[in-house]
Chain A
C-alpha cells in the first residue's frame, strides 16, 4: 500500500501543522466568544434580536425562569426557539447546531420551522410575542425592512439542525453526575454546537458552575430554563431573567393574538442589573429598535461589540 502523498511525512511537519491548526482554532474560538457577527447581523435585519436585546453572550450560561412550577411549569419555549434561531450561524458560520436537552424543554418541532417571535421593549424589560402567521404578513416580511432576515435565508435551518436529547436522569443527582448534566456538559463543550437549551429544574449551583466552565470552553450559548420558584436559588449563570405572561387583551392587541410575555432581568453576574432606557414605555409592542443600557462593566459581550452600521434604531444594545 502506497502511503498517501498529502500526509506529512515527518513528526516535525505534523507538529508544525498541529500548532498552526491550534492557532486557527483559537482565533475562531475567540471571535466566537466575543459574539461574532451574530448580533450585528440581526441588527442589520431591521428587527430586534433577543440575543442582543437581552445582552446574551456566547460562551456563557443564561437562566430564564418561566411561569409555574412542578407539573404546571411552562418553560418559555417560544423565547428559547427565538434565541436558538438567533444563535445559529445560519449565514457565514453555517453548520452550527442547536441541542435541546430534557423532554420538558423540547419544543414542538413545528415551532422550529414556524413563525418567529417579535421582540420589543416594554415598561419593565423586554416583551416578546408570537407573531401572527398568515400569508399576507409573510409577503410583507419579504420586503426591504427585513432584508437578510434569518427566515428569508432558510426558515428550516433550525428545524434541520436541532438535536433532541432525552436525558432522564435528574440534573442534580446525589453525586452531581446525572445524565442530563453530563449530556449538557458534553454538548456545551462541542465547538460545533451553537446553542444548548436544557431543563435546569433543581439544578444546584455546583452543577451550574460546571456547565458555565463547559460553555466557556466550547463557546456555545447556554440557555437554562427553570421554574419560577427557583428564581431565588443560587446560581453560577452569567445572567438570570424572569419570564411572565402578559394578558392578551391589553396593549392594544384587539385580535387576542399573538400571545405575549415579558422578560425581566433579575441579575447579571458580571456587573449588576440590566437597566432599560427610560423611553422604553413610549414604544408599543412590535416597534423596532430599543435602547438597552446596562450598568455592567463587562467587556467582550455582543452588546459591547455593537452593530457595524451605526443605525440607532436597529436594536443596538449599548453599555453605559
Chain B
C-alpha cells in the first residue's frame, strides 16, 4: 500500500481548490525499456520455436532477460562508458560515467547485457507512456528523461480517492515492468522532490508512493537534500560549499543572504516556490494556443462521423486563428474511443496556414482509418507550431492568399500531401555534405528547409549509386582490373580510366560509410565492360585482419 508522509494524510482528495500533482519517477527507465524489449524478443523466439518444433521440441538454453544485468553505454572518444545501468548493476557498484571494462569487472560472473544507449528512443517511449497514462488524468506531461507528471485534481474521484489512484498507478507501472516511485503533492516541485528523494526504493512496487497533505509541503521538503530542488549543478556546488545540505537549510536562509553567498537568486526562491506552491510549474500538456483548440463531446460511432466532428472542430479553430492572424504548421487530432486508449493523429505542413481544405486533406485518410472501436466519446483538434500569418492579397490562382510563400503554395500543398500519405520521410530534397565518400556526400533534407550551403563537389560521378555496393570478384593484371565476375558471370573489361583514391576520414564524429566499404582507403576506377556499360568499380583496401582487398560495383553511368 502506498503510505502517507508523517506530515498528515487525507482520505478523500485534497479538499481545496488547488491542483494536485502526481509525479511518477521511473528510476531506471532506459534499462527497464531495454529489458522489456528483450523479454518481448524472448517471447517471440519461444513462440517461433514452439511453432516450428511442436510441443515436443527441446527447450533451448534459458537466456532470460530478467536474470541479466543491463548496462547501456555511450561512446566518449574511443572508450565506451556507462550511460545507464539497471538496479542490479547499480547494486554491484557500477556507476554512470565509468568505463564499460570497469562495469564488466564489477559484474564478473553475472550475466550482463550491454548495448548502446538510445536517448531518442527513450524520449519517444516516454511520450508514448505519457499518452497511455491519460487513463488517470487528461493532463499528463512527460518530463524527460525519466518522469511523468499528472494533474489529478478531480480525476481521483474516479478511482475512489487520491490514495487509491496512487496505488493503482503504481500497480500499473509495475505490470509494465517499470521501476516507478510516485508522490502526490500540491506543487509540482514538491511532488518531484518527494518522489525522487523521499520514497524508499527498498519497498515493494506498490508501496513506493507518498502523499503530501496540502499546506505541508514545507515539512515534506525540510529534510530532503538540496539536490531535490532541481537546480543547476554549479548552483548545487555553491550551496554545498556554503554548508547547506538540506532544503530546510535553504529555507531558513534569508533571501538576500542566499543571493549574496551563493551568487544566484534561484535557490532560495525555488525552494520557497516548491514549498508554498506559488509556482504554477509547466502545466501538463499546455495547449500551444488556447484559442486554436476545439473539442467535441458528441459521441461518434463511425470513423466518418468522427471525421465530420473533426471538421467542425477545425472550423472553430480556424476562426480563432484568423482573429489572431496565426497559421498552424501542425494539426493534432485526439480521439478517445470508448473501449480503448486515446489515439493521437498528427500531421505537419511545410508552411504555416489555416486553409481548411488543405489541412483537412492531410488528415482525412487517417481519420477514416482510425480505430474507433465501438465509438468515439470525445475528440479534440489542436493547432500547433503557430506562426504569424498576415492576410494577403488574393493569389493568382484565385484562392485566399494566406501564406509566407504564396508563389509556391501549390507546390507545398503537394509536398504535404505526399508526406501525409506516404510518410514523413517519403518526400525529401537533397543537401550536400562536404565529404569525399560518395555515399556520405548527400543527405536528405526537408523540402521546406533551405539548403545548408555546403559546396557541391563537381567531380566525375555516376548517375546511379548503389545503396549497397555489389561485391564482385575482379581479376587484376599489372594492378589494373581486366575482368570481373558477378553472380557467376564473367565479364571482360575493355577499358579502365579515371583512377581516384579516397582516404577515410580520421577525425572523430565523421559519418559512417556503407558497411561494405568500411576501411582505411578505397580506390575508384571507371570501367567499360563488353556490354557497353560504364561501371564505377571500387577497390577497398584490406582492413586489419583481412588478407586481400575487396572489389565492388558502387555505381553506374546509365
Binding site for B on A (CB under 8 A): 1, 4, 6-8, 14, 17-18, 21-22, 24-25, 28, 66-67, 74-78, 81, 95, 97, 107-115, 130, 133, 155-156, 159-160, 162-167, 179, 182-183, 186-187, 190-193, 245-249, 255-257, 259
Contacts and interface: CB of A to CB of B under 8 A. Distances in A.
A187 B421 CA distance: 13
B497 A255 contact: yes
B408 A95 contact: yes
A308 B534 CA distance: 38
A110 B532 contact: no
> Chain B interface residue count: which class?
35 or more
A107 B463 contact: yes
B427 A248 contact: no
5 contacts: A24-B396, A77-B463, A110-B461, A164-B427, A166-B427
B261 interface: no
Interface string B286-319: 0000000000000000000000000000000000
7 closest pairs, A vs B, by CB?
A245-B532, A74-B558, A110-B461, A192-B411, A21-B398, A77-B463, A108-B465
Nearest to B530: A247
B190 to A, nearest CB: 42
Contacts of A78: 463, 557-558
Specify the main secondary structure of chain B where it touches its partner.
Answer: mixed
Contacts of B396: 21, 24-25, 28
Given A18-B394, A77-B463, A1 B421 contact: no
B10 to A, nearest CB: 47
Contacts of A108: 438, 442, 461-465, 555
A110 B459 contact: yes
B463 A97 contact: no
Nearest to B411: A192
Contacts of A4: 390-391
Contact of B421 (A8, A107, A182): A182
Nearest to A167: B422
Nearest to A156: B456
Which of A21, A110, A115, A162: most chain B CB closer than 10 A?
A110
B283 interface: no
Nearest to B414: A190
Contacts of B427: 163-166
A183 B426 CA distance: 11
A8 B526 CA distance: 63
Nearest to B556: A74
B511 to A, nearest CB: 15
B464 to A, nearest CB: 6
Given A166-B422, A245-B533, A77 B397 contact: no
A268 B451 CA distance: 40
A18 B418 contact: no
Contact of A163 (B429, B495, B556): B429
Contacts of A246: 532
Interface in B521-539: 526, 528, 531-534
Contacts of A255: 497
A110 B456 contact: yes
Given A21-B398, A22-B398, A165 B532 contact: no
A25 B426 contact: no
A163 to B, nearest CB: 6
A238 to B, nearest CB: 23
B63 to A, nearest CB: 36
B51 interface: no
B509 to A, nearest CB: 23
Given A133-B460, A193-B411, A259-B534, 12 more contacts: A4-B391, A14-B394, A113-B456, A114-B459, A159-B430, A159-B456, A163-B429, A186-B414, A247-B532, A248-B494, A256-B495, A259-B557
Interface in B459-480: 459-465
Nearest to A77: B463
Interface string B87-112: 00000000000000000000000000
Contact of B414 (A1, A25, A133, A193): A193
B417 interface: yes
Interface string B386-427: 000011111111100000000110110111011001110111
Contacts of B392: 6
Contacts of B397: 21, 25
Given A21-B398, A74-B558, A163-B447, A249 B410 contact: no
